[in-house]
Amino acid sequence: MLVTKKIHIHMGHLVSNHLGKCKSPHGHFYEVELGVEGFKNLNTGASDEGMVIDYGELKKILVEEIDNKFDHGFIVQKNTYWGDIFEKNKRENDKIILVNFVPTAENLAQYWGIILKNRLPDELKFKYCKVWETPSSTAIYEE
């Protein structure tokens, strides 16, 4: 059975080599959804009877790996004009996330998907990480 959990974060980014508006620093209200597959617990009387996983456990993973690390942050590719500026001027408590890839929705879905997959209990199978950059634009990383 497939179950999903979604969180929301605010984060800025830019796409340095883009020819359109996205080349400038800007932000989004991202939605990040994790889809996992597993079997329902059929143990009568168990706290999680009838569940694949408690949604609270999925939320905890999403909060620890995505919300805590990226919400209200700014993600930028290293070794670019903007990456160099942010890296050089970053203050101790600034939430600047420097990465080795262009921070597009597609790349974020893959990056976050791999992180989330590695946090799942062994009995669950990672299915996808879906990222909404806008209410009508999504990228999905599947395995």
Which active-site residues does the annotation give? 22, 72, 133
CA dist 37 and 101 (Å) reads 29
| Closest C-alpha among 88, 65, 92, 68 to residue 78 | 88
* Complete DSSP assignment for 12-43: EE--TT-SSGGGS-EEEEEEEEEEEE---B--
Radius of gyration of the chain (CA): 17
